[in-house]
Chains A and B, each alone.
Chain A
Amino acid sequence: MRTRRIIGTTAAVTLTLTIAACGSDDGGGSGDGTLVGEGSGADCEIAAAIGVGAALSLTGAAASYGESQRNGLELAVADLNEEGGVTYELTVEDDQTDPRQGITVFEDFTGGDTSIIIGPTLSNGAFQAQPIAQEAGVPVLAISNTASGITEQGDYIFRDSLTEAQVIPQTIALATETYDLEQVVVMYSNDDAFTESGYEVFASSLESEGVEVTDTLTFSVSDTDFRPLLTEALAAEPDALVVSGLIEAAIPLVTQARDLGIEVPIIGGNGFNNPQLMADAGAAAEGVVVGAAWNSTSDNAENVEFLDAYEQEFGGPPDQFAAQAYAAMTIIDTAVRHNCSGERDDVQDGLNNIADLPTVLGSLTINDDRDAEHEAVVQVVEDGAFAVLG
């Protein structure tokens, strides 16, 4: 017994040492001057390839998002490298949808010759990993995180994904106009930080649009039976249901609402912005309204080109995650060219100077809080697919 415990302890210590050794593997990298080039803007030429590290969830719960993101990044890097002048070397690492693994990946990137880090895929991983980059002075561009407080972690943290606080007010304004909303019932899961903050934005947007909330119903993130709540909602005869919930709740909620005879529009938060909704809820998903950061039907030149190239490369249409990843490389390229340098601090400075940049997401500006600002799109499910509302 005792011997066994000693062996166990020794193994644990050895493992810890090995991990520590991996973490301190310093590639030296960014100080050798070749990352600074000649010229500026479109004429900028840098001899060395700029290292871009992406920490994405390629396995685990968020794997489907990470896959799209990797596709978007690879396509963008291929396009930029073909253009020339400044070239990029993309390294994609899997954080396994595990914040601890995300930390390890970030440590690897900050210790190597990475000029900028992209990711991680999920907000909860970002909160854990970003301080490592901030500490090391490596800029981070978040491409899918929508939680509030992501960029508040430091002046090296940027993002190109719109937050719910940016998308929801536009959604409510357009839905109110389109459907003449006068009174609604609001439902949200009150034991989850994301859906609760989504609810707060919904509530204030509804108030400023002058829509009356006749009832507010709460549920738990683990709930799947919404019939008692929906029966209550039905009795209030609302013009629409407004729901802040995750996709796990969205699907049964929408299905059961239609079963009970609720035919009014269901306006959802970011959790509803998922093609899974139409795949699993089927016809019940018709009439679901949800705001999104990327308008897949936009006819701006960047977007049309992107849709075409993506379809050719991967044999299917891109989703919002791929679009936001693609836009990230446009932003990074512009930031690098701003000072014609891939040095970490120069890239940070370049990111602070992104204004009215044409991207696949539309004309994009990085604001003083290092968050992206661009127009959102309001979608409605029609014939089993998202269509632009209005």
Chain B
Amino acid sequence: MDVQQLLNGLFVGSIYALFAIGFTLVFGVLDRLNLAHPAVFTVAAFVGIELVAVGGLSIWAALPVVFVVGGLLGLVIEQVAFRPLKGRADAHFAGLISSIALAGMFIALLQWRYGPDTKRFPAESFPETTYKVLGAQVTGVQVAILLITIVLAVGLHLLVGRTRLGRSMRATAENPTAARVVGVNVDRVSATTLAISSALGAVAGALFAMNVNSAQLGMGGAIELKGLAVIVVGGMASLPGALVGGLLLGLAEVFTVQYIGSSWRDLVAFGLLFLILVVRPQGLFGTRKVREV
């Protein structure tokens, strides 16, 4: 096994994981599929580049700002795409469609603001440091990506498991009506959940843009299917499952390139998804019928 390829897989996999964790959180707590999530990913990449290129921030200082911008977008998504439809009998499906519509609007606004061209961080904004790890070349940005993903995933895990807010989220996940009865402000929980989810998706987008130094309008669409694959592999509503699923997908892609051939990358990755759906439909970490966070 090649160490360089293993690390390549881990780095790209941790971005998939971070993206998928946000996806999963909304799905787990609110039982909604938020398809505006990939648009937040894209918006964050462009905003991050603007903060560095025009605002003069360092890439590290831009990340917390992107996190906040993502959170605000999450509130917008909740208010516009989900809140007005919440009482309807077909709220699941209606929310799915309205989030797609909102995603389209986000991308259209991006195109209006930035044009259709690929955007990049200024060449001098990255630290030149590269590290040698067991004979493999690793950049500072890549190390940061892995660390940030771990910190955010652990932080979210603690938030859900140990805090009052986390308890409200778990209660809402279990049964929104019952949660309301015992005094949980379900509207606030859903707004907070979407804000946290979008903040994570936004950081993933900015990190992705840093990792490959490019942001395109289509980048969210490209990762959307992978994010869905990851949450299916991980077990639909399981946060640890999304983390492991993301890393697995990244590794599967890389080792397909190494051992089978670059043309087979997507085929193998999505073939695995299909295999898991058939063999273990509840996913690697999921349990049947019981939803958890």
Residues of B within 8 A of A231 (CB): 2, 4-5, 8, 258
Cβ-defined contact, B216 with A222, below 8 A: yes
- B124 at interface, CB cutoff 8 A: yes
Q: Tell me the smallest distance from the CB of A341 to a CB of chain B, in Å.
A: 42
**CB-based contact A229/B257 at 8 Å:** yes
Q: Is there contact, CB below 8 Å, between A222 and B222?
A: yes
By beta carbon, the residue of chain A nearest B141 is A259
Supposing A218-B262, A228-B257 touch, asked if A260 and B4 sit within 8 A by C-beta, the answer is yes
A300 to chain B, nearest CB (A): 34
Partner of A256 from B115, B212, B216, B266 at Cβ < 8 Å:
B212
Residues in B with CB closer than 8 Å to A20 are none
Binds B, one of A145-153, A205-213, A247-255: A247-255
Q: A228-B5, A228-B254 are in contact. Are A251 and B120 (CB under 8 A)?
A: yes
Closest chain-A Cβ to B259's Cβ sits at a distance in Å of 10
Q: Does B118 contact A (CB under 8 A)?
A: yes
Q: Are B2 and A235 in contact (CB under 8 A)?
A: yes
Please give the distance in Å from B129's CB to the nearest CB on chain A.
Answer: 11
Inter-subunit contact A259/B257 (CB<8 Å): no
B98 at the interface (CB under 8 A from A): no
| CB contact under 8 A between A228 and B9, given known A60-B116, A222-B222, A235-B2 | yes
Interface status of A43 (Cβ within 8 A of chain B): no
- The number of residue pairs between A and B whose CB atoms lie closer than 8 Å in the complex comes to 72
Q: Are A227 and B218 in contact (CB under 8 A)?
A: no
Q: How many residues belonging to A are interface residues under a CB distance threshold of 8 Å?
A: 31
- Whether A30 sits at the interface, judged by CB under 8 Å, is no
> What is the 8 Å Cβ interface bit string for chain B, positions 98-120, against chain A (1 contact, 0 not)?
00000000000000000111101
- Decide if B219 is an interface residue (CB 8 Å cutoff): yes
CA distance A279 to B5 in the complex (A): 29
A363 at the interface (CB under 8 A from B): no
Is B214 part of the contact surface with A, judged by Cβ < 8 Å? yes
**Which residues on the A side are within 8 Å of B123 (C-beta)?**
279-283
**Cβ contact within 8 Å between B8 and A251:** no
**With A222-B216, A228-B9 given, is the CB distance from A259 to B2 under 8 Å?**
no
CA distance A222 to B212 in the complex (A): 12
| 30 contacts across the A-B interface (CB closer than 8 A) | A61-B116, A61-B117, A217-B262, A218-B262, A222-B219, A222-B222, A224-B212, A224-B214, A225-B12, A225-B212, A228-B5, A228-B8, A228-B253, A228-B254, A231-B8, A231-B258, A235-B2, A251-B118, A252-B213, A252-B214, A259-B137, A260-B4, A260-B137, A261-B137, A279-B123, A280-B120, A281-B123, A282-B123, A282-B124, A283-B123
Other A-B pairs, 13, CB within 8 Å; known A224-B212, A232-B262, A261-B137: A60-B116, A61-B115, A222-B218, A222-B222, A229-B262, A231-B258, A248-B214, A248-B216, A251-B120, A251-B213, A255-B213, A280-B120, A283-B123
